[in-house]
Amino acid sequence: MDIFIQQIINGLVLGSMYALVALGYTMVYGVLNLINFAHGDVLMIGAMAGLTILKMLNTVAPDLPGIVKLIIAILGAIPVCVAVNVLIERVAYRRLRNAPRLAPLITAIGVSILLQTLAMMIWGRSPIPFPQEMPTEPLHIMGALISPTQVMLLILAAVAMGLLVLLIEKTRMGRAMRATSENPRVAGLMGVDSNRVIVMTFAIGAILAAIAGVMWAANYSSAQFAMGFVPGLKAFSAAVLGGIGNIYGAMLGGILLGLIESLGAGYIGDLTGGFLGSHYQDIFAFVVLIIVLTLRPSGIMGERVPDRA
């Protein structure tokens, strides 16, 4: 039972990070009907920017509490990620909105490679240790362990997702985003500035990716120029699992995928008689993606994509 609870905690931590990134995928798809495959690399930019800010803080203000330095790093990484994501939308995607779907897809892959190359040039090729700012003494929950960094991650993810729901459901910008998602032409006739809505969508996705990136690096104590590729693919799988275009589906898909991956990693050795070990955990995201696309392409929450005139 202790192992089971531990894997549940690990799955919630992992799933929270997947959910934050998956929300960026699903929001852009809902508004533009476009998969931004460079979004995982925005997570990487957030982690690298946060790492740089932490190193500066440790030089100029080493006595600050670790949690304060981590929050400052996140707040500093957010405008960097927002600027990068908005620039991606302006330069790479805006002129391709009415192009055949293959063109934006190829462009997104190209932007992903470009971001990784630039990050490699700026921060180097080798993994960089992420400073351990939070206390290392774990908390005990029913025989399982959870670190203060993971507790902070869960709280930040819950707050970020809660604020996003309030934004989408209760604000004028949220109504404009939902209207643009339903029918951009009719929304434009009703006075909605679609360009502003799309830029805001990319900016919000970047904020969530920045939080996920810094906390991912803090949780695994390392950052690297290519660190966003696999989490980005898994977050996309989570968005598809929950129902691409549905923010609640992205949250649910992220948490479920994290739990599936964590439980699978914990028990795959027993289930296969020792043939597979926990280092095969990456296969679960893609097995789940294949199963969902085969049996229920619309995802668990089954967001229907309307035909656009």
Task: Dig out the tokens for 235 from the structure.
Answer: 């977050």
Phi then psi for 127, rounded to 5 degrees?
-60, 140
pLDDT tens, residue by residue, 136-154: 888 888 878 899 999 999 9
- With 0-12 / 13-18 / 19 or more C-beta atoms within 10 angstroms meaning exposed / middle / buried, residue 90 is middle
Please compute the mean of the pLDDT values over residues 202-228 and round it to a whole number: 93
Any idea how long the chain is? 309
CB 249 within 8 Å of CB 242: yes
- Predicted local confidence at residue 72, as pLDDT: 94
Residue closest to 44 by CA, chosen among 85, 16, 72:
85
Please tell me the distance from the alpha carbon of residue 37 to that of residue 73, in angstroms, as a whole number.
25
Residue closest to 149 by CA, chosen among 206, 231, 66:
66
Across the chain, what does the average pLDDT equal? 86
| Maximum alpha-carbon separation in the chain | 62
- Predicted local confidence at residue 268, as pLDDT: 66
Q: Terminus-to-terminus CA distance in the chain, angstroms? A: 54
Please tell me the distance from the alpha carbon of residue 82 to that of residue 120, in angstroms, as a whole number.
20
Contacts of residue 56, defined as CB under 8 A and 6 or more positions apart, other chains included, come to none
Phi then psi for 121, rounded to 5 degrees?
-70, -35
Does the pLDDT at position 159 exceed 70? yes
Phi then psi for 282, rounded to 5 degrees?
-65, -20
CB 245 within 8 Å of CB 26: yes
- Predicted local confidence at residue 33, as pLDDT: 83
Contacts of residue 186, defined as CB under 8 A and 6 or more positions apart, other chains included, come to 179
Which residue is associated with the tokens 């919000």?
204
Query: 274: left (phi > 0), else alpha (psi -120 to 50), else beta?
Result: left
pLDDT tens, residue by residue, 93-125: 888 887 887 888 899 999 999 999 999 999 999
- For the chain, counts of helices (H) and of strands (E): 11, 4
Residue 308 binned pLDDT confidence (cut-offs 50, 70, 90): very low
Phi then psi for 70, rounded to 5 degrees?
-65, -40
Dihedral, 229, 234, 240, 245 alpha carbons, nearest 10: -60
The residue that leads in pLDDT, 12 or 291, is: 12
The residue that leads in pLDDT, 8 or 265, is: 8
Residue 307 binned pLDDT confidence (cut-offs 50, 70, 90): very low
- Predicted local confidence at residue 273, as pLDDT: 60
CB 139 within 8 Å of CB 146: yes
Does the pLDDT at position 303 exceed 60? no
The H-or-E segment that residue 141 falls in is strand 139-141
- Predicted local confidence at residue 276, as pLDDT: 61
